Amino acid sequence: MQLRMVPIALSLLATLTLLFGGWFLYQKMEVEEPIKHEIGQMESAKLARLEVAKDRIQVDLTVTNPELFPREYQDLRVKLADLLQNKAVDITIHNNAKALEDIWTNGVFSFTEAVDLHEYSRIPQIVSQWKEAYRLDEASTQMDEENIYVYLKRGTDDFYTIVPRYPAKEVTARG
């Protein structure tokens, strides 16, 4: 029995095309498009970069409205977790002007100390001191149950970071 190479090669090519084309179409339609749609609904951020890997998804955001962002960030995390149940999602903030990042780096010790000691009322004072000392146009903080959000702005440069809290380790007074 003699095998004909041309039909075998064409069958293999057609099978691989369908397999990888289907996978590519699935990635685009069922993974990337829903993520882009959810981020497109946000008023406080826009998509800077989206990278989809086999077991994780990297989403880079640029914050456009720091006042609204904390609420929308929590909503986005919940929606993406529901949408992508078996993949890890890493969300990174892309607002990081070098000059303002240096201010953050210089002041992060006192900020981290306030977070670690659960003296959250000191954080607005610390950021206000940065605003005066470095002549910033804006310097603000917000906090929710999981994170502390810090925004610095000078001219057209801005810096936004999210610092996680660890509420399970916090001591609360009752009574």
pLDDT tens digits, residue range 19-57? 777 777 777 777 788 889 999 999 999 999 999 887 888
Total number of domains in the chain: 2
Contact 110, 126 (CB under 8 A): yes
Do 114 and 134 lie in one domain? The reply is yes
Of residues 144, 143, 138, the one with CA closest to residue 159: 138
Average pLDDT over residues 145-169: 89
CA distance 70 to 111: 19
pLDDT tens-place string over residues 57-108: 899 999 999 999 999 999 999 998 888 878 888 999 999 899 999 999 999 9
Q: Is the pTM of this model over 0.75?
A: yes
What's the pLDDT score for residue 22?
75
Written as six digits, the tokens of 20 are: 């990888």
Q: Supply angle C-alpha 144, 98, 72, rounded to 5.
A: 25
Q: Supply angle C-alpha 163, 166, 168, rounded to 5.
A: 165
Average pLDDT over residues 164-175: 59
Asked whether residue 170 carries a pLDDT value surpassing 70, the answer given is: no
Confidence class for position 169, pLDDT limits 50, 70, 90: low
Edge to edge, what strands does the sheet with 147-154 contain? 138-143, 147-154, 157-164
φ, ψ (nearest 5 deg) of residue 43: -90, -15
Domain carrying residue 129: 98-169
Judge whether 120 lies within some domain. yes
Contact 21, 52 (CB under 8 A): no
CA distance 58 to 24: 17
Q: Note the residue count of the chain.
A: 175
Do 72 and 106 lie in one domain? The reply is no
Among 71, 93, 115, where does a domain finish? 93
What's the pLDDT score for residue 174?
44
What's the pLDDT score for residue 1?
54
Do 73 and 31 lie in one domain? The reply is yes
CA distance 16 to 25: 14
Do 104 and 129 lie in one domain? The reply is yes
What's the pLDDT score for residue 64?
94
